[in-house]
Amino acid sequence: MTHSRYTYYFIFMSLYSVVVSIWLHAFSSEAAGTVAFLCFSAVIVSALIISWAAEAAEFSISQGLAVAIVALLQVVPEFMVEAVIAWRKDIDLMMANFTGSNRLLMGVGWPLIFITSDVYSRIRNGKKIDFIRLRPENIVEVLALFVSSLYFIVVLLKRDLQIYDGVFLGAVFLFYMYILRVLPEEEEEKKEDLLAMPRALVSVENEKKRGLILVGLFIVGGATMWAVANPFLDSMNQVSVALGISAFVFVQWVAPFLSEFPEKVTAFYWARTIRLAPMALLNMISSKVNQWTLLVSMIPIVYSFSMGRISTIPLDIHHREEILLSMMMTFYGCATLAKLKFTRGDAIVLFVLWLAQFLYPVHFSFMPELPIVGNNSRLIVSVLFGVLAVYEIVRHRKELRLRLGITETLRLMKVHREAAE
**pLDDT of residue 63 exceeding 70:** no
Find, among 421, 2, 67, 10, the residue nearest to 214 by Cα.
10
Query: Which residue pairs from 208-214 have beta carbons closer than 8 angstroms and sit at least 24 positions apart in sequence?
Result: 210/56, 210/60, 211/60, 214/53, 214/56, 214/57, 214/60
Q: Distance of CA 57 to CAs 69, 189, 249, 287, Å?
A: 9, 12, 35, 17
Q: Which residues contact 205 (CB under 8 A, 6 or more apart)?
A: none
How crowded is residue 138: how many other Cβ atoms within 10 Å of its Cβ?
23
Helix (H, G, I), strand (E, B) or coil at 128: coil
Distance CA 198, CA 84 (A): 28
CA pair distance 211, 204, nearest whole angstrom: 9
Q: What pLDDT, on a 0 to 100 scale, did the predictor assign at position 67?
A: 46
> Does residue 74 surpass a pLDDT of 70?
no
Question: Mind listing the pLDDT tens digit for each residue in 29-40?
Answer: 556 667 777 777
> Residues with Cβ < 8 Å from 140, sequence gap 6 or more?
176, 179, 180, 183, 405, 409
pLDDT of residue 131: 92
Note the pLDDT tens digit of each residue in 357-371.
Answer: 999 988 898 888 888
CA nearest 145: which of 334, 405, 2, 411?
334
Report DSSP state, residue 59: T
CA distance to 276, 334, 410, per residue, from 182 (Å): 21, 23, 10
Greater model confidence, 309 or 41:
309
Chain Cα centroid distance, residue 175: 19
The domain limits of the chain are 2-415
State how far the alpha carbon of 364 is from the alpha carbons of 81, 349, 355, in Å. 30, 18, 12
**Proportion of the chain above pLDDT 90, given as a percent:** 39
Q: How far apart are CA 128 and CA 251, in angstroms?
A: 36
* Residue 295 to residue 250: CA distance in whole angstroms: 20
Whether residue 190 has pLDDT greater than 70 = no
89: left (phi over 0), alpha (psi -120 to 50) or beta: left
Of 327, 300, 308, nearest in space to 382 by CA = 327
Q: Give pLDDT, residue 186.
A: 45
Query: Which CATH superfamily includes the segment(s) 2-415?
Result: NCX, central ion-binding region (1.20.1420.30)
Number of C-beta neighbours around residue 296 at 10 A: 26
Residue whose C-alpha is closest to residue 75's, from 314, 239, 291: 291
Say how far apart CA 109 and CA 107 lie, in whole Å. 6
In the predicted model, what is the mean pLDDT of residues 379-390? 96
The pLDDT score that the predictor gives to residue 62 is 45
Average pLDDT over the chain, rounded to an integer: 84
The Cα 36–Cα 40 span in angstroms is 6
Contact residues for 183 (Cβ-Cβ < 8 A; gap 6+): 137, 140, 409, 412, 413, 416
Confidence of residue 208 (pLDDT cuts 50, 70, 90): confident
Give one word for 368, left, alpha or beta, with left for phi > 0 and alpha for psi -120 to 50: beta
Q: ∠ CA 303-309-314 to the nearest 5 degrees?
A: 50
Lowest mean pLDDT among 66-80, 277-291, 401-415: 66-80
Whole-angstrom CA distances from 405 to 138, 139, 325 are: 7, 5, 27
Q: pTM (2 decimals)?
A: 0.86
Q: Report CA-CA distances (Å) from 245 to 238, 346, 361, 368.
A: 10, 31, 11, 25
Report, as an integer, the average pLDDT of 310-339: 96
* CA pair distance 294, 323, nearest whole angstrom: 16
Please compute the mean of the pLDDT values over residues 220-240 and round it to a whole number: 80
How confident is residue 189, by pLDDT bands cut at 50, 70 and 90?
low
Q: What pLDDT does 353 receive?
A: 97
CB neighbour list of residue 417: distance below 8 Å, 6 or more residues apart: 182
Q: What is the reported pLDDT for 187? A: 47
β 313-314/341-343 pair status: unpaired
Q: Which of 134-138, 164-168, 196-200, 243-247 has the lowest mean pLDDT?
A: 196-200
Q: Which long-range contacts (CB under 8 A, 24 or more apart) does 121-128 make?
A: 121/274, 124/274, 125/274
Give first-to-last CA distance, the chain, whole Å.
Answer: 47
- Bridge partners of 341, per DSSP, are 133
pLDDT at position 169, please? 96
The predicted structure's pLDDT at residue 41: 82
Contacts of 357 (CB under 8 A, 6+ apart): 103, 325, 377, 378, 381
